[in-house]
Amino acid sequence: MITPDQLRSKYLDFFKSKNHAVISGKSLIPENDPTVLFTTAGMHPLVPYLLGEPHPAGARLVDYQKCVRTGDIDEVGDPAHLTCFEMLGNWSLGDYFKKDSIAYSWEFLTSPDWLALDPGKLSVTVFKGDDNAPRDDESAGYWKAVGVGEDRIAYLPASDNWWAAGPTGPCGPDTEIFYWVGEGVPPAGSNKGTDPANWMEIWNNVFMQFNRIDEKTLVKLPKQNVDTGMGLERTVCVLNGKTSVYQTESFQPIIAAVEAVSGYAYGTDPAKDPSVRIIADHVRSATMILGDPKGVTPSNVGAGYVLRRLIRRAVRHARKLGIEGGFLGKPAAVVVDLLSGAYPELAENRAKIIDELAREEAKFLETLQKGEHEYEKMLPNLLRNPQKVMSGRLAFKLYDTYGFPIELTQELAAESGMTVDLAEFDAAFKKHQDLSRAGAEQTFKGGLADQSEQATKYHTATHLLHKALRMVLGDHVAQKGSNITAERLRFDFSHPAPMTPDEVARVQAIVNEQIARDLPVTMEMMNLDDAKASGAMALFGEKYESVVKVYTIGDFSKEVCGGPHVERIGTLGKFVIQKEQSSSAGVRRIRAVLE
Ligand code: SER
């Protein structure tokens, strides 16, 4: 048996032995990236470096990273999909390429000194080729060189073997590694192409050589990089001879906690088991999000909304298991115990996690009660309908006005022998969704980590703003979040009261005075302690490497930061603060543009 903690250490140790520097994983909430709500892949925090920024720790890196992906939230509950997972990653920033990457992966997976997986149960995919790049015979050749048979190599199109983190940004062909989860041993000729259901993906090696600027333009990156991501939960699963991540030590204790509160024994009723898995997955994700130092809480927008949906979906499935009141604190405490070794922030935030879960559960239970009450009021009228059909319009009203889920409306209706007109409900729901999606797409239009010139300018302007705020308001001002697009910057900082118009005007004037001085921006690599001793501002609660980049703007500002920045600030234009408002308790938010 191998535990998640053991796999994490083995992975770091293996790549350390191949001269990789161990770097620390980052927050689940990306800094300076307006295009995604969460860190969605292990490589996400590395994007600037894959695009060419030098990394302070060198050109060979290894880490583990917590990730949240909720795009396929509806598939959660099957054997392999999770909304929160850990990715083990190793990177070459213009150092080794395909040959060594493939050889390292194979050695780690199959060597008796490392994971000792049966080579006969592994298969791979490589890129089949299209207009952007030719078939990746080079990678196939290296797989054969380490001993992978031709029949275990599937050549697949870009939809499978071209990896991009977003609509724009670094990308390239990839080669993926799969483990056999079917019965017995894989028959000759079986691979991901011929028999997709029996092969579970465990590792993805991306050969990042391109930057996608827009739909039509792909430019070669200055360096050929390797970006790999190994799914920790899935690899633990196959290493322990299991076929579902829910059978592993990452989930069994959480499932046991759900069994204890519900009295339902997992595995005894196929109709109820998916609910157990969904609760286990969602409570784990919600705990990781609440435990993150960036401090997201349930709300109706952005990451807070995703968190709210996870919690509410868990509560809904709990009702199917007969759990009526609040219960999430119990499985959440198990998650904290399981993952605090790797993520000490969970233990530090234990009380907050449990409190927030209880609060959100209570709110949702109240919503449910209100919805039920409204339904009761409608009931006499509904029962007059001879067809015993509740209109979709009314069901949508319950959903839209009271947040009452359609599944529950259906359950209540069924109790009185009625059905709900789902087609009508869906139509109303779709219309509503299209409206809110149009809004959400605005947020995503930039593409991952928009490195456009304008975004770089906003990034530098953020440093000027940060310093000016400290000069006008005091040293208690600390950055709480930053979000940049090519059109504007948004900056969150700690300050107990609204700024006065005079304070806003002074901050704006200071920034513009500095821009008029056209100060140069310089970068230096330093030890973190030296950087702090030299007066460089660093983000509280952020995890930094031991060597960091420090960006200095003339004699005005000095900050630990990954970059990139402009070379001289005279190019920024006129800095205008458009709005100063509350962001959350004790945190203010400024929105500003460069004209
Ligand atoms: N970018 C790749 C992935 O997320 C490898 O890290 O799968």
Listed in sequence order, the residues at least 6 apart from 447 whose beta carbon sits closer than 8 Å to its beta carbon are 35, 166, 167, 168, 169, 212
DSSP track, 273-295: HHHHHHHHHHHHHHHHHHHSTT-
Closest ligand 1 atom to residue 40 Cα is 4
The pTM of the full predicted model, rounded to 2 decimals, is: 0.76
Cβ-contact 464, 569 below 8 angstroms: yes
Which of 47, 228, 232 to mutate to test ligand 1, by most ligand atoms within 8 A of the CB atom? 228
User: Ligand 1 centre from 460 Cα, in Å?
Assistant: 29
Confidence at 406, pLDDT banded by 50, 70, 90: confident
**Stronger pLDDT, 249 or 480, i.e. the higher one:** 249
> Residue holding tokens 């890196």?
61
Nearest-atom index, ligand 1, CA of 205 = 5
228 ligand 1 Cβ < 6 A: yes
What's the mean pLDDT in 249-258? 97
Separation CA 170–CA 22 (nearest Å)? 22
Minimal-distance CA residue to ligand 1 atom 4:
41
The CB of 41 under 6 Å from ligand 1? The reply is yes
Q: How far is the CA of 229 from the centre of ligand 1 (A)?
A: 5
pLDDT in tens, 78-128: 766 789 999 999 999 999 999 999 999 999 999 999 999 999 999 999 999
Q: Is the beta carbon of 227 within 6 A of some atom in ligand 1?
A: yes
Name the residue with the closest Cα to ligand 1, atom 1.
43
* pLDDT level of residue 75 (50, 70, 90 thresholds): low
Strand 122-127 to 153-156 pairing: parallel
Q: Kindly report, residue by residue over 160-173, the tens digit of the pLDDT.
A: 999 987 788 899 99
The 10s digit of each residue's pLDDT in 336-374 is: 999 999 999 999 999 999 999 999 999 999 988 898 899
CA of 158: how far to CAs of 41, 82, 138, 174, 201, in Å?
19, 24, 17, 9, 16
CA of 88 to the centre of ligand 1 (A): 9
Residue bearing the bigger pLDDT, 564 or 550:
550
Higher model confidence: residue 527 or residue 312?
312
> What is the per-residue pLDDT for 572?
93
Dmax over CA atoms of the chain, in Å, equals: 80
- Omega before 270 cis (within 30°)? no
> For residue 489, is pLDDT > 50?
yes
Give the model confidence (pLDDT) of 7-58 as tens digits: 999 999 999 999 999 999 999 998 766 667 899 899 999 998 998 999 999 9
Indicate whether 72 pLDDT > 70: no
pLDDT at 216: 86
Residue nearest to atom 6 of ligand 1 (CA): 229
Q: Which domains does the chain have, with CATH numbers?
A: 8-242 (3.30.930.10), 251-366 (no CATH), 385-446 (no CATH), 453-594 (3.30.980.10)
45 touches ligand 1 (CB under 6 Å): no
pLDDT digits (tens, 9 = 90+) for 439-484: 443 333 333 344 567 878 898 999 999 999 999 999 889 888 888 8
| pLDDT of 26 | 94
